[in-house]
Amino acid sequence: MASRILTRPLFAPQLASPLRRAAATQIRLAATKPYSDAPHANTIISKPGHESIINSTSADAYELLVAQRKNRPIAPHLSIYQPQLTWYSSAANRITGVTLSGLIYLYFMGYAAGLPLDSATVAASFGAFPYGVKLLTKFGLAAPFTYHSWNSCRHLVWDTGRMLDLKNYYRSGYAMLAVTAATTLWLVYV
C-alpha cells in the first residue's frame, strides 16, 4: 500500500548525516500500515525554498520518522524549572489526599471483609507496639493528615478571592508549613 509522508520544517537546524537529506523536517506519516514494503511509496519533503519527491518504501519512511523523532527537542519539564513552593505544595497536597483516601478505603474494605479492625482490637494492637514504632506510625498518619487539612483551609481562603497574589501565596505557604509541623508534633506526642 502506498503511503505519503508530508513534512513541515522543524526548528532544529542540523540533524545527523542520514537525516541531512530531509533538511530538518518533521514527518507526519499518513499510512495505515507503517511497515508495508510498497516499492512505489512516495515521500514528499518540503525544504525552505523548494519541494522534492523521493521514492521510498513505507518502512524506509517510518525509519526516517523514528530517527527524526529521536532528534526532536523534548518539551520543557520539571528539570528546567527552579523548584518553588508553589508546585511543591500543589503536588504534596494531591499526594497526601490520595494517600489518606487510600488508607481510609483500605481500612473500611478490611472492616467490611471481617478483619478484626474494631476500636478495641486496634487500640490493643497499637498498645503492644514498641515506643519507636508507635511514634513512627503516629507521625506517618499525622503528617499527611495535618498537611492536607491546613493546605485545604488555605485553598478555601483562595476560593473567596483573597490572598491570590504571589507575596501572600508564599506567606500563607510558609505559615501552613509551620502550623503543619506544630500540629503534627502535637498529634505524635499526645
Same domain as 182, residue 116: yes
The total domain count for the chain is 2
How would you classify the pairing of strands 42-47 and 4-9? parallel
Same domain as 29, residue 9: yes
Same domain as 167, residue 185: yes
Q: What's the domain range around 22?
A: 4-71
Q: What is the pLDDT of residues 152-174, one digit of tens each?
A: 999 999 999 999 999 999 999 99
pLDDT of residue 73: 73
Q: What is the pLDDT of residues 96-144, one digit of tens each?
A: 999 999 999 999 999 999 999 999 999 999 999 999 999 999 999 999 9
Please tell me whether the overall predicted TM-score, pTM, comes out greater than 0.75 for this model. Answer: no
186: pLDDT strictly greater than 50: yes
DSSP 8-state class, residue 82: P
DSSP bridge partners of 81 = none
The residue with cell 514494503 is 37
Last residue of a domain, one of 71, 104, 129: 71
Q: What is the pLDDT of residues 86-109, one digit of tens each?
A: 889 999 999 999 999 999 999 999
In angstroms, the CA 46 to CA 184 distance is 62
Asked if 164 and 154 count as a contact pair (C-beta separation under 8 A), the reply is no
The alpha carbon of 38 is separated from its chain's Cα centroid by a whole number of angstroms, namely 40
Last residue of a domain, one of 49, 71, 93: 71
Q: What is the pLDDT of residues 12-59, one digit of tens each?
A: 444 444 444 444 344 443 334 444 444 444 545 555 555 555 666 788
Last residue of a domain, one of 71, 95, 118: 71
Same domain as 104, residue 51: no
